[in-house]
Amino acid sequence: MPKILKVGIIGLGHLHPVSYMPHFIKCSHTEVVAACDIKESLRTSFTKQFGVKTYTQWQELLDNEKIDLAYIFLPHCDCDAAAVACAAKGIHVIVEKPVASTSAKAEIIASACQKNKVLFSTPYLWRYHPVVRKMKEAVDSGLLGRIVGCEGRCAAGGLHRYIDGHSEWMLDRAQSGGGPMYNLGVHWIDLYRWLLNSEITEVIGRNVHVNPAYNIEDNSFAIATFASGATLALDISYTVPDSYPFGRDLYLSLRGTEGCISFAPSFEGTSQTLFICSNNKKFGGAPRQTIQFEMESIPGYCGSLGLEYVNEITHNILHQEQPFIGGDDAVKTLKVVEAIYDAAQSGQSRTVNYTKK
């Protein structure tokens, strides 16, 4: 009989806990045994939908339940306290990105998990996308030559989706850390770190505040320079009109000395298209290629990407392996975000300081 990891979900006031449940149910090595949230309505709804026991406070859950893995969906400012408490009890930890409101708090989580020898990961799921993996192959094989420029656009809107999704705290800087670069831009920052196998060393930033009702910016822009010499332009925002298809405007591209590659992800649906243009001799007589991907339709957050992540994390835990995406990735990504905000406030470029705080 394979070991079943008992999972506790800490925090229901977020867009993703409910949509992760199909993955935990489908995974043969996980069973969600408890959840918690301070809001009674969220607890009642979750129990009614999934038959899972709930608690008001995460401390109650940890005192009364024997769990192996905690998935934390709390406001970013509160994630570190819960994660450290879990680690002290020998509980493995997944913290929803960006894992904390500051890189210093992310470092505290990483240190606690390392000290107690438990897994710490965060779901930067775009690394699992089959199209993105094809992009990674193109970079690693030299098909594009030396990478010079990259673009990343992640626009999702509007702010009302956080209110409708019971995560209005996301719109308060004190609880979230900041706006879209904290919540969405981290995906692309992590992804390009991985694609280029290089760290961001310097950034320029600009934040634009449109909605005066909230103390976070709605749009965040950045120019990031990598140690490899490549430059990344980021356009991250919450200002996509309601009429935009599925509420997402997404785009990824890389341009090198021998070729370029671009991908405009279809947020919903299974059909995806990748365009590659290269002068490399490996492309022979077809220097321009459009590759179609028909992805498997799987219910749950991010479909097959989310399920693969849950399956892989459980495998890591059961076999005592390091995760593909670890605490170091979470910390470094947040340090880049903080440098972008610092640059935006100062109006000057900022060097990313990876020294532990």
Query: Tens digits of per-residue pLDDT, 5-53?
Result: 999 999 999 999 999 999 999 999 999 999 999 999 999 999 999 999 9
d(CA 114, CA 98): 18
In a domain, 356, yes or no: no
In a domain, 300, yes or no: no
In a domain, 312, yes or no: yes
In this structure, the answer to whether residues 181 and 251 fall within a common structural domain is yes
Q: How confident is the model at residue 2 (pLDDT cuts 50, 70, 90)?
A: low
Overall number of domains in the chain: 2
Q: What is the pTM of this model?
A: 0.97
Q: How many CA atoms lie within 13 A of 242 on its CB side?
A: 3
CATH of residue 182's domain is: 3.30.360.10
At residue 1, the pLDDT reads: 37
Kindly report the backbone phi and psi dihedral angles of residue 181, in degrees, each rounded to the nearest multiple of 5, phi listed first.
-65, -35
CATH of residue 30's domain is: 3.40.50.720
Which residue range forms the structural domain that includes residue 73?
5-122+305-325
pLDDT at 76 over 60: yes
In this structure, the answer to whether residues 233 and 139 fall within a common structural domain is yes
d(CA 245, CA 227): 36
By residue count, the chain amounts to: 357
